[in-house]
Amino acid sequence: MELFHDAPQIIKDFLNYQLVIQNKSKNTVHEYYYDLRTFFRYLKNKKNPQDDLLFEEIKIDDVDIALIKSISIGDLYGYMSFINVERDNDASARARKVSSIKAFFKYLNEKAGLIDENPTLKLETPKLRKTLPTYLTLEESQNLLKAVNGPDLERDLCIITLFLNCGMRLSELIGINISDIKQDTIRILGKGNKERTVYLNKSCNIAINNYLRVRPNDNVLDKDALFISRNKKRISNRMVQTIVKKHIEAAGLDASKYSPHKLRHTAATLMYQYADADIRVLQEILGHENLNTTQIYTHVENKQLKDTTMKHPLG
C-alpha cells in the first residue's frame, strides 16, 4: 500500500493483516495507520527529543521490535495524556486510538509471536459519555427536502432523500453503484465489507429515477458509480458533506449541528417514532453489528413519552 510507504515493515504487516485477513475496510485500516503513526511519533520524541523537527515531521520508518518491547504501561498513559492535553482529543478520539494500539499489540503477541507480553492489556479505554443522537424532526426533515435547489437539484435531492429515508452511512452512500440497484432495493457495502440489502420506498425510487435521467454518462471515469461530481468522478466524502451543509443552511437550520451522519440518526429516529420499527429490524436496516448501538434510538424524546407524562395522576 503506497499510502503507508513511511511505515516500518512491522506496521505494514499489521495493516495488511487487518485488510486481508480481518477484512477491515480501507477507511478503518487508514485510521489504524494514522493512530499508530501518531503514537510512535510521540514515543520517539519522548525517548529521544527532536526539538529541531515539527511533530508531523518525525519519521517512524525505523521503528523496530526492540523499541516496541521497551514500551511500558507508563508510556501508554503518558501518550493518552499527550493526546488529551497537547492535541485536544476528546474521549471518543482517545478511545479510538486506544483501540488501534490494542489491536496492534494483540497482533504482535497472538498472531505474529513477536512479543511475549502485551502491555496494553492493562490500558483502560476512556469512558464515553452516553448522549442522545442529534436529529431533525419530521417537520425539519420535510423543510430540508423542500429547500434543495440549484443546478444539481436532482442529484442533491437524491442524496438527501436516501440519507433521510434509508439511514445510510456516508461511505455507504458514496459507494453505491448503479448495478447495486435492483427494482426497490439497493445492495449496500457497510462496515467491515459486510453487505446488506436496503429497501427503497416510493420517495427514494422517484428521487433515483429523476436523477438517473440527468446523470452524466459521457466521459465518466467510474461509469457504474451512482453519484457523480462535476469533474465526472465518483463523488467524494468532502463533496457530499458540502452538499448537505449547503442545503441545511438553505432550510434555515444550524449547519454546525447537522451532518450526513446526523441525517442517518434522523432516518433511524423517524423510523422508530413513526414507522413503529422493531429494534431488531432497525438494527438490520442500519447495519449495526451490536444491538446496544441501536438501543439509543429507543431513548429519544417522542410523543409517547410526553403523552405518558401528561397523563400522570398528579399532573
Please tell me whether residue 260 adopts helix, strand or coil conformation: helix
Task: Give the torsion through C-alpha atoms of 119, 122, 126, 132, to 10 deg.
Answer: 120
Cβ-based neighbours of 33, under 8 Å, separated by 6 or more: 3, 4, 7, 11, 15
pTM above 0.75, yes or no: no
Contact predicate 215/155, CB 8 Å: yes
Residue with cell 417522542: 302
Selected from 1.10.150.130, 1.10.150.120, 4.10.93.10, 3.40.50.450, the CATH number assigned to the domain covering 2-122 reads 1.10.150.130
| Active site residues per annotation | 169, 191, 261, 264, 288, 297
Q: Where are the domains of the chain?
A: 2-122, 138-307
CATH topology of domain 138-307: hpI Integrase; Chain A (1.10.443)
pLDDT in tens, 291-311: 777 777 776 655 565 666 677
pLDDT value, residue 154: 97
Q: pLDDT category, 253, cuts 50, 70, 90?
A: very high
pLDDT of residue 91: 87
Name which of 253, 250, 288 is nearest 272 in CA terms.
288
Task: Please provide the size of the chain in residues.
Answer: 315
Domains 2-122 and 138-307 share a fold: no
Q: Which three cell numbers stand for residue 69?
A: 518491547
For 148-207, the pLDDT digits (tens) are 999 999 999 999 999 999 989 999 999 999 999 998 999 998 887 788 999 999 999 999
Helix then strand count (H, E) for the chain reads 14, 3
